Amino acid sequence: MEKFERLISTAVPLPTENIDTDQIIPARFLKATDKKGFGDNVFKDWRYHKDGSINTDFVLNNSRYSGSVLVAGNNFGCGSSREHAAWALAGYGFKVIISSFFADIFKGNALNNGILPIQVSEDYLQTLLKLITEDPDTNVDIDLQNQVLQIVGKTVVEKFEIDSYKKVCLLNGYDDIDYLLSNKDKIIAYEQEHQF
């Protein structure tokens, strides 16, 4: 997994609430057997009309907005457990998702793919959405080591929470498999004690 330490980037505003993983990557694109190529189909049915023409109203098709930070409405990533949603967002180039609330499974999937989900207060989210919508050149500075988020040029600093274990994983590019395998002895001992 790629390391994540610090990121300064412009951001894309997507204020819609309850964005489910079916919107992030529709089920018909889940037939691949590797992790590549999902970025092309991220938010497919919001980016394109059914006839294949571009939906110019959708923010990802608006050339004013770009960057590797997505700022999204409350309850981002609800619904299906498909990790393809995280692969699609990462494939498109997003490294950080900011929202006022994340669905559990999505949050875990994001972290397991080097994407940092940052939960902020609803008030802060609305302020941030307004700022980046009005001025697409606004840069957001995300410092994982210090767990702070700052809008470049503004003095207000927003602290964010992250599980300390997951933080170590992201900073170093470790994944859970390495950790679990290093505990094989304990797992075998558990099995012997709790005969299944």
Partner 1 sequence: MAKTLFDKVWDKHVVDTIHDGPQIIYIDKHLIHEVTSPQAFNELSERNIPVFRPQQIVATADHNTPTVDQHLPVKDALSRNQLKQLTENCNTNNIELYGLGHEYNGIVHVIGPELGITQPGMTIVCGDSHTSTHGAFGTIAFGIGTSQVAQVFASQCLLMNKPKKLRVNVNGKLRKGVLPKDVILYIIAKLGTNSGTGYFCEYAGNVFEEMSMEGRMTVCNMSIEMGARGGMIAPDETTFEYVKGKKFAPKDAEFDKKVAYWKTLKTDEDAVFDLEYSFEAEDIEPMITYGTNPGMGIKISEAIPSYNDASFEKSLAYMNFQKGEKLLNKPINYVFIGSCTNSRIEDFRVAASYIQGKQKAPNVNAWLVPGSQQVAKKIKEEGLDEIFTAAGFKLRQPGCSACLAMNDDKIPEGEYCVSTSNRNFEGRQGQGARTILASPLIAASTAVAGKIINVLEESSTLELV
List residues binding partner 1 (CB under 8 A): 15-18, 20, 22-23, 26-28, 30-35, 45, 50, 73-75, 78-84, 86, 101-105, 108-109, 112-113, 163-165, 175-177, 179-181, 183-184, 186-187, 190-191, 194, 196
**b/e for 151-183, b at 16 or more Cβ within 10 A?**
beeeeeebebebeeebbebbeeeeeeeeeeeee
- 31 vs 159, beta carbon nearer partner 1: 31
For residue 13, list its beta bridge partners.
71
Q: Token pair of 96, please?
A: 């950080």
Identity of the residue, 9 or 76, whose beta carbon is nearer to partner 1 in the bound complex: 76
What's the min distance (Å) between Cβ of 4 and partner 1? 16
CB of 3 to partner 1, least distance (A): 16
The SS3 call for residue 43 is coil
Q: Which residue has the tokens 């859970």?
A: 176
- CA 47 to chain CA centroid, Å, is 18
- If the CB atoms of residues 17 and 40 are measured against partner 1, the closer one turns out to be 17
Contact 71, 11 (CB under 8 A): yes
How would you classify residue 164: left for phi > 0, otherwise alpha for psi between -120 and 50, otherwise beta? alpha
Of 16 and 145, the one with the shorter C-beta distance to partner 1 is 16
Q: Which is nearer to partner 1, 54 or 180 (CB)?
A: 180
End-to-end Cα distance, the chain: 33
